[in-house]
Amino acid sequence: MGKPLFPKLFPAMIAALSPFLIGFAVDAKNAVPVKPIGHKSVFKHGGHPWKAEMTEAEKDLLAARWRKWEAGNNRLQCGDYSESIKIFTDLINTAPKKTQKEHLGFLYAQRGYARMLSGEFKPGIADATKALELDPNSIWTRKNRALAYRKLGLYAQANADLQVVRAMENDPKQQRQREIWGHYKDAMELRNQDRPEEVIKHAQQLIKDQPHNTAPYFMLGDAYFELGKFPEALAAFNKSLAIVPQDPYALNYRGTAYAQLGQVDKAIADYTKVIEIRKRASSKKWDEIVSRYAGKFIAPSLSELFALRAELYVKNGDRDKALADCAEAIKLNPSDDRARFVRATVYRQFKQTGKALNDLDDLLKLNPKDEKALQYKAEILLDNGKHKEAIVAITKAIELDDTDWHSFEIRAQCHQSVGNGKLAAQDIHQLNLLRNKH
């Protein structure tokens, strides 16, 4: 409970940045519509939707559309085709007049793909046709349409599309795009296999190929972070943020890197920026969207961010701000055990033992198997002369984790305090064994 939360980044980062990546995943072997991974022209500014010359209102509008696209893409990947069709339809109907043709074409392609998967091949073909009118260079939209034609027995039309596809695939530019996507794909697989050294090689190559895209810097920073090379991770996230200063994902992970390096003020500043961004997005239920979309790998929820910042305030000795953040986290999420634990530590520092124990008891109601909470509760009880209650709490902690020597140390102190030297000696012997192992 007391350790900082550093959620894994890489798979979610690739998912969240998929519109910046190149190409589609192909499944021609089974003759089913191929899954759109993204489109190189969705946003033409360093691989990110925010443009430097945009007004704040335009940025907010684009951010809202971005979040809606994430929700639609999530529903598509989860097999909720009807809902994804509704979302893509809304994005198409509400597209600003100056929307790039390729961007609008990508939305038609995605809706067409959803329709094909739901068995609506004629409407899917119509969408793919519209997408190709807007972006005739999309190989993968054309391949989708060819496969849909085959499903309807329209083999002449399918073959015509596939002839165009073959000609386009021989284009050196298309081949180069596939090579770049291959680096992304390989890096994702290596990340899932916990091979960060090899991820770094792919990331460095992608940076050479796409120096203005945030994704390679993300994966580079994540790989260095996994290796515990925090200065290198920080440098990579800094480069990502030089491209997109308000990217909440990069800000979150740079904040964790700063925290690991002991640069608490800078970590607090980054978490504060992320909190403000997430607050502005709350009306669109951004937390809910990204939680469904990428699960545990995504940046923390708003309540978790408040709890994380509270921990940093504690390190800085700013206990009042820590308490305020804990209260906000619990208000947003009454089940936030992390915030309750942090608040208990602050109450203990203020010598408000009753409030600290109340938070720990509430936490243990939510999660009775939280070994760290039981351990901390035992420490507070021991400090306040409640030795028997402390023994009960710490014994439960040991039952949950009998490899933590500190728990045996606490229980030994409790036994000594009640005059049970024999049991204290047994616990001291056990903690020495555990210490020697480490």
DSSP 134-187: H-TT-HHHHHHHHHHHHHTT-HHHHHHHHHHHHHHHTSHHHHHHHHHHHHHHHH
Residues 121 and 185 in one domain: no
Residue 25 φ/ψ, nearest 5 degrees: -80, 135
Q: Which domain, by its residues, includes 264?
A: 176-268
Q: Residues 73, 189: one domain?
A: no
Other C-beta atoms closer than 10 Å to the C-beta of 318 total 17
123 is a domain residue: yes
DSSP H helices, 367-404, are 371-383, 387-400
Look at residue 59 in the predicted model and tell me its pLDDT: 65
Residues 150 and 39 in one domain: yes
Number of Cβ within 10 Å of residue 78's Cβ equals: 12
What residues are paired with 35 via a beta bridge?
Answer: 25
Domain assignment of residue 79, yes or no:
yes
Written as one letter, the residue type at 124 is G
What CATH number should be reported for the domain holding residue 200? 1.25.40.10
Q: Are residues 202 and 162 in the same domain?
A: no
8 Å CB contact between 15 and 38: no
Q: How many residues does the chain have?
A: 438
Rounded Cα–Cα distance for residues 384 and 411 (Å): 14
* Same domain as 248, residue 164: no
Q: What is the pLDDT of residue 437?
A: 80
- Specify the long-range contacts of residues 393-397, CB closer than 8 Å, at least 24 apart: 397/371, 397/372
Determine the distance from the C-alpha atom of residue 44 to the mean position of all C-alpha atoms in its chain, rounded to a whole number: 24
pLDDT 10s digit of each residue in the chain, 438 long? 333 333 333 333 333 333 333 222 223 233 333 333 333 223 222 233 334 445 667 667 777 787 788 888 888 878 889 999 999 999 999 888 777 787 888 899 999 999 999 999 999 999 999 999 998 888 889 999 999 999 999 999 999 999 998 888 777 776 777 777 778 778 878 887 889 999 999 889 888 888 888 888 988 998 999 999 999 999 999 998 988 887 888 888 899 999 999 999 999 999 999 888 877 764 444 444 343 333 333 456 788 889 999 999 999 999 999 999 999 999 999 988 899 999 999 999 999 999 999 999 999 999 999 999 999 999 999 999 999 999 999 999 999 999 999 999 999 999 999 999 999 999 999 999 998 886
23 in a domain, yes or no? no
Instruction: Tell me what pLDDT residue 299 has.
Output: 54
Whole-angstrom distance, CA of residue 190 vs CA of residue 250: 21
Q: How deeply is 388 buried, as exposed, middle or buried, from its count of CB atoms within 10 A (0-12, 13-18, 19+)?
A: exposed
Q: Tell me if 17 is assigned to some domain.
A: no
Long-range contacts of range 365-370, CB-CB < 8 Å, 24 or more positions apart? Answer: 366/335, 366/337, 366/340, 367/337, 369/400, 370/1, 370/337
Output the pLDDT for position 54.
Answer: 55
Does residue 344 lie in a domain region? no
- Predicted local distance difference test score (pLDDT) of residue 426: 95
Judge if pTM exceeds 0.85. no
pLDDT of residue 438: 66
In the chain, the number of structural domains is 3
State which of 236, 252, 268 marks the end of a domain. Answer: 268
State which of 136, 170, 204 marks the end of a domain. 170
Number of Cβ within a 10 Å radius of residue 301: 19
Domain boundary among 210, 244, 268: 268
Report yes or no on 394 lying in a domain.
yes
Q: Measure the CA–CA gap between 190 and 199, rounded to whole angstroms.
A: 6
Same domain for 138 and 192? no
Residue 52 lies in a domain: yes
| Within a domain: 154 | yes
Count the alpha carbons within 13 Å of 22 in the hemisphere toward its beta carbon.
18
Do 148 and 120 sit in the same domain of this protein? yes
Question: 189 and 143, same structural domain?
Answer: no
- Domain check: are 107 and 46 in the same one? yes
Examine the domain organization and report whether 56 and 140 are in the same domain: yes
- Within this chain, do residues 45 and 162 fall inside the same structural domain, yes or no? yes
Residue 302, pLDDT score: 83
Both 53 and 153 in one domain: the answer is yes
